[in-house]
Amino acid sequence: MAPEPLSAQSKLASRDTSDESDVNGVPLPPDGILFMNKTAKGGVQQGTSQVRLLMESGVNVRTGTLLDVGCGWGRLAYGLLSTGFDGRYIGVDIVRERTDWLEANFTSVHPRYSFHFLDIKNDLYNPNGRLTRISYDALISDAAPTTIVLLSVFTHMYEADIAHYLIDLATIMSSDSTLVFSCLLFDGVAQERIRQGVASRKFPYKLSADCRYDLKSEPLGAIAYTEPKILQLLGRAGLAGRVIRGNWSRAKADRKGSWGQDVIIAKKAEHGATGPVDPADERKAKDRRGPGFHDRMAAWRRWITSSMTPPIPFPRRKAVH
């Protein structure tokens, strides 16, 4: 199904929900599952804005099957519901309280939306978890997803983990599937804006030539990569994508309603994967509790009071200053 004209998209996505206590019969979530003392109404408006931006980027958020990895309390799901999404939505998260509430209050009203707890081992949120890596087979049991979305997920991951996520997601994609994820790219025009002092983050700490982070005590609080590195990871997974620079770096003229983080929109590459994951990265990705444990815990504590959905725990690389 071809995307609707932008005028129709904007009309759909700009519906005011500020005075509503529910969205199409679904109550707004309680404060206990929200992030950073944000209001549910504000979050729904943000989710609606994200749907509009996806529409304007040519991504199908009207029909088909949409997989939302790191769905949190359902911000994007509410946005889709308020803009008339007519497909099947699958949201996954590692915080059971959120997915349980959404199943009981969202899915019960709109069965086309489902939410799933992933029993991923996590020392803070799910210490008795049985899994260390996501399997999508049970979630995507029929046709490949039309659209896969990860917002504010790779902004808190080390390279090896991003590589594995991309490889795993590529296995469930067809040539018609679209993958959308946000990230932070510190090179190019962003690097110039950082030097000028106008970017919202500085990323002064270096993990490698292609990776920097913003806070010395919490590397995973916000982590950034070069554009070539992200495109390389896509290639290794058999994917190819285009880059949309966000406003965090003031890489382009500030425009109300544009992406805050940088966004990648990817498809299956015509010639398949361009190379394997580095074996050293493979070993480091398997070390889920070893060196860097306390750094990871500090980052987790920050996420409790942040607006990001906490991802799977990750290993730490030695920083080079």
> pLDDT, tens digit, for every residue of 92-128?
988 889 999 999 999 999 999 999 998 875 443 455 7
Ranges of each domain in the chain: 31-304
- The token pair at 3 is 């995307």
Among candidate residues 99, 77, 215, 115, the one with its CA nearest the CA of residue 155: 215
Instruction: Compute the distance between CA of residue 95 and CA of residue 302 in angstroms, rounded to an integer.
Output: 15
What pLDDT, on the 0 to 100 scale, is given for residue 20? Answer: 66
Q: Where is 300: in which H helix or E strand?
A: helix 293-304
* pLDDT band at 39; cut points 50, 70, 90: confident
Residues 177 and 267 sit within 8 Å (Cβ to Cβ): yes
pLDDT of residue 262 exceeding 80: yes
- How confident is the prediction for the chain on average, in pLDDT? 80
Give me the CATH topology for the region 31-304.
Rossmann fold (3.40.50)
Instruction: Compute the distance between CA of residue 248 and CA of residue 185 in angstroms, rounded to an integer.
Output: 10
Percent of the chain as helix, strand, coil, to the nearest 5: 35, 20, 50
What pLDDT, on the 0 to 100 scale, is given for residue 285? Answer: 43
Answer yes or no: pTM beyond 0.85. no
- The token pair at 249 is 């770096």
In this structure, is the dihedral angle defined by the CA atoms of residues 306, 134, 67 and 127, taken in order, positive or negative?
Answer: negative
Contacts 24+ apart (CB under 8 A), 190-193: 190/245, 190/249, 190/251, 190/262, 193/249, 193/250, 193/251
For residue 239, list its beta bridge partners: 268
